[in-house]
């Protein structure tokens, strides 16, 4: 990957996440902490304070570079959760984690009030699945002075999987994210504080998801770092024919494909397994050599473009 293309500089980019640094010199891991009763993967498992803190600490020990805390499920068919209820779920946990952990904490929410209050509680990054499109979200996020991830979603969580349709899924997702990056910049955001997420599984069929993953590199040139969340999603289950508890290997494989195409932050449930896989990738990539003259090996999917 070429980080200069992403951030326009020769020094490894660093995100200031509310006073805590997230170094993006190589693909990093964001551990998922859902404190909801109805998350698709781990709903209810970490809804209590003790369980949430223990899981977050375990993910940090396993190598997570940032912990993403969410209080509203956005699985297909889910219903909205009020700002007050999200705050009730996430604020005590964010406050406790900010005291216990050295890694940054992200808030996974699209609600302006939740963004502001989470920042006050110690969150250092806003992960917004609605790309700051909710009324007041742009101003609220800007006021926190925190980095923001802007995600693509076609439709709403309760209806997004009814009949997703694209003429060109890669081009349309790229155009949407580029537009949201520009909107954030015009609002006053430092472009080096922006991330984008193609939103795997959010208003997309299996074919859409696979096409996005195969062409992910096309999303790395729009002036923002690329965050990808593929962990345990339905697309992994459909490809591997595995239920949720059997999707670890497929999720790690998808994360590596994303990393090889320029994803700089990988949002995952299985932190240790992903960290280990990235270590192997980091050990191998520097050993690559260009083919000698006259040789024409089969071109790999993630080889550099000619």
| Active-site residue, 267 included | yes
| Active-site residue, 233 included | yes
Q: Which of 28, 89, 232, 267 is catalytic?
A: 267
Residue 251 makes CB contacts below 8 A (sequence gap 6+) with: 230, 231, 232, 233, 236, 268, 269, 270, 274
- What is d(CA 221, CA 191) in angstroms, rounded to the nearest whole number? 13
What is the token pair recorded at 19? 């006073």
Residue 101, class by beta-carbon neighbours within 10 Å (0-12 exposed, 13-18 middle, 19+ buried)?
A: buried
31 close to 60: Cβ distance less than 8 angstroms:
yes
Phi-psi sector, 264: left (phi>0), alpha (psi -120 to 50), beta: alpha
Q: Which of 233, 288, 295, 299 is catalytic?
A: 233
| Catalytic positions, written as ranges | 233, 267
């Amino acid at each position: 990957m070429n980080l200069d293309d992403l951030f326009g500089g020769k020094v490894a980019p660093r995100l200031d996440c509310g006073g805590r640094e997230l170094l993006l010199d190589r693909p990093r891991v964001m551990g998922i902490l859902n404190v909801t009763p109805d998350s698709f993967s781990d709903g209810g498992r970490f809804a209590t304070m003790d369980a949430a803190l223990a899981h977050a600490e375990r993910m940090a020990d396993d190598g997570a570079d940032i912990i993403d805390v969410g209080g509203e499920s956005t699985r297909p068919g889910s219903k909205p959760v009020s700002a007050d209820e999200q705050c009730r779920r996430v604020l005590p946990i964010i406050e406790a984690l900010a005291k216990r952990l050295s890694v940054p904490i992200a808030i996974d929410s699209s609600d302006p009030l939740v963004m502001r209050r989470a920042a006050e509680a110690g969150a250092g990054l806003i992960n917004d699945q609605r790309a700051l499109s909710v009324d007041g979200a742009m101003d609220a996020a800007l006021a926190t002075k925190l980095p923001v991830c802007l995600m693509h979603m076609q439709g709403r969580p309760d209806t997004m999987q009814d009949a997703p349709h694209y003429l060109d899924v890669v081009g349309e997702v790229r155009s949407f994210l580029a537009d949201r990056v520009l909107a954030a910049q015009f609002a006053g955001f430092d472009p080096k504080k922006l991330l984008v997420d193609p939103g795997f599984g959010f208003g997309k069929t299996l074919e859409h998801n696979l096409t996005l993953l195969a062409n992910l590199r096309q999303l790395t040139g729009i002036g923002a770092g690329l965050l990808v969340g593929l962990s345990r999603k339905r697309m992994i289950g459909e490809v591997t024919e595995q239920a949720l508890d059997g999707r670890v290997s497929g999720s790690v494989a998808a994360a590596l494909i994303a990393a090889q195409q320029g994803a700089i932050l990988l949002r995952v449930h299985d932190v240790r397994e992903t960290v280990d896989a990235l270590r192997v990738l980091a050990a191998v990539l520097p050993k690559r050599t260009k083919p000698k003259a006259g040789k024409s090996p089969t071109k790999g999917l993630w080889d550099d473009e000619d």
